[in-house]
Amino acid sequence: MVSANVLIKAVGLTKKFGDFTAVDSIDFEVYEGECVGFLGPNGAGKTTTVRMIYCFSPLTAGSLRVAGLDVTTQARRIKSIVGVSPQEDNLDPDFTVIKNLQVYARYFDIPKSEATSRALKLLKFFQLEEKRDASIAELSGGMKRRLIIARALLNEPKILLLDEPTTGLDPQGRHIVWDKIRSLRKQGITVILTTHYMDEAAALCDRVLIMENGKIIENGAPQQLIRKYVGQDVLEVEYDEALVATLKSELPDVEVEVWGEQVRVFTKQPHGVFERVAKKFPDKTLTIRNANLEDVFLKLTGRKLDEER
Ligand SMILES: Nc1ncnc2c1ncn2[C@@H]1O[C@H](COP(=O)(O)OP(=O)(O)OP(=O)(O)O)[C@@H](O)[C@H]1O
Ligand SMILES: [Mg+2]
């Protein structure tokens, strides 16, 4: 359940590395119980933003409050209520699976017996029980990811930060992680994630913030952004001048995006209009599908349209 309470609030949040501005005066809020996705091309500033939320990276300017606490002066208290699954694998290769969890629990002053009991529960929750005494080198990429997320939950956080939680996982592994994220949300945990998988963002997030060059360029519920930028249907076809001309003349609001030889056509008209036009080109291979968040992402952050066409 998403509440009206603001749990995280950033105002003019800025991070510079020397002269380079990685996060450029962004404002955003995250509500208690929400799942918010940060999307954006490589280098957009997602990880840098997440790192500031968990007090790993100091702000250059602006303000950032987490559960009412100031990240610059109350880092210790914030760290106690936040769980982090970083983008990179930072498991300790010298320890076994369970030992990784037990050692991590020490940062939070969790007593040893309590740490072990939490660790065992989490290993079960993430279907890693059989690997409890395995070394990290024996785990597959997907198992490591699940262990990193399990580790993030040891301190029973209010807020879970997941930086690319499913990158490199097979479809089954991704679905296991999605399922766990959903059940954590049912327990009331607020989730912030970054991802390059638009289906993941659409499946999990109440709201997405799209970043580019350190700025938030758009923000909204996935379905709302799809309606706003793309419409209902998308037609995909190999570029064909006559077909595109017919679509343009018959559908007043048609928008054509050329990606090399491939053309994507968007319309805000109701379902069925593409089929009508497509009938006139029976020898063409046309794909008509629902608009999705990837269309929005490419439109806002992707290559520019081929101006020639
Ligand atoms: N420690 C650092 N020193 C210098 N520049 C950095 C540092 N960390 C990040 N940057 C730069 O800041 C920008 C944003 O990086 P960041 O890791 O936040 O991007 P991202 O959106 O997470 O990208 P990706 O999708 O590739 O993970 C990049 O241009 C990156 O090179
Ligand atoms: Mg990143």
Q: Please give the Cα distance from 52 to 173 (Å, whole number).
A: 28
Question: Atom 26 in ligand 1: which residue has the minimum CA distance?
Answer: 42
Between the ranges 13-17, 232-236, 297-301, where is the mean pLDDT highest?
13-17
Rounded Cα distance, 183 and 157, in Å = 14
Average of per-residue pLDDT across 29-58: 97
Name which residue leads in pLDDT, 99 or 233. 99
Ligand index nearest the alpha carbon of residue 163:
2
235's CB contacts (< 8 A; 6+ apart) are 247, 264, 265, 274, 278, 286, 287, 288
pLDDT at 307: 40
**Spatial distance between the Cα atoms of 158 and 17, rounded to a whole number of angstroms:** 30
Q: Domain-by-domain residue ranges, the chain?
A: 6-223, 231-291
**Whether residue 68 has its Cβ less than 6 Å from ligand 1:** no
Ligand 1 atom closest to Cα of residue 214: 14
Average pLDDT for 213-234:
95
What Cα–Cα distance (Å) separates residue 14 from each residue in 64, 185, 217, 294?
Answer: 10, 29, 15, 27
**What angle in degrees, to the nearest 10, is found between the helix axes of 171-186 and 141-152?**
10
At 304 the pLDDT is 47
Cα–Cα separations (whole angstroms), residue 31 to 66, 72, 209, 246: 11, 21, 13, 46
Report the DSSP beta bridge partners of residue 17: 20
pLDDT of residue 309 exceeding 60? no
Given a cut of 90, is residue 104 above it in pLDDT?
A: yes
Q: Can you tell me the distance from the alpha carbon of 13 to that of 133, in angstroms, rounded to the nearest whole number?
A: 42
Check if the beta carbon of residue 104 is closer than 8 Å to that of residue 154.
yes
* Cα 224 to Cα 71, 255, 260, 292, distances in angstroms: 32, 19, 28, 11
What is the CATH superfamily name and number for domain 6-223? P-loop containing nucleotide triphosphate hydrolases (3.40.50.300)
Q: Is the CB of 17 under 6 A from ligand 1?
A: yes
pLDDT, one tens digit per residue, over 206-223 is 999 999 999 999 999 999
141 CA → ligand 1 middle, Å: 23
Q: Which of 57-61, 196-200, 218-222, 255-259 has the lowest mean pLDDT?
A: 255-259
Within a 10 A sphere around the Cβ of 288, how many other Cβ atoms? 16
pTM score: 0.92
CA of 112 to the centre of ligand 2 (A): 33
For the chain, the maximum distance between any two Cα atoms, rounded to a whole number of angstroms, is 72
Question: How far does the chain reach from its first CA to its final CA, in angstroms?
Answer: 46
Q: Output the pLDDT for position 278.
A: 80
Q: Could you tell me the pLDDT band of residue 148, with boundaries at 50, 70 and 90? A: very high
d(CA 303, CA 138): 41
Of the pLDDT bands very low, low, confident and very high (cuts 50, 70, 90), residue 2 is: confident
CATH number assigned to the domain with residue range 231-291, chosen from the 4 options 3.30.70.600, 3.20.20.210, 3.30.70.120, 3.40.50.300:
3.30.70.120
Among protein residues, the one whose CA lies closest to atom 7 of ligand 1: 17
pLDDT band at 60 (very low <50, low <70, confident <90, very high): very high
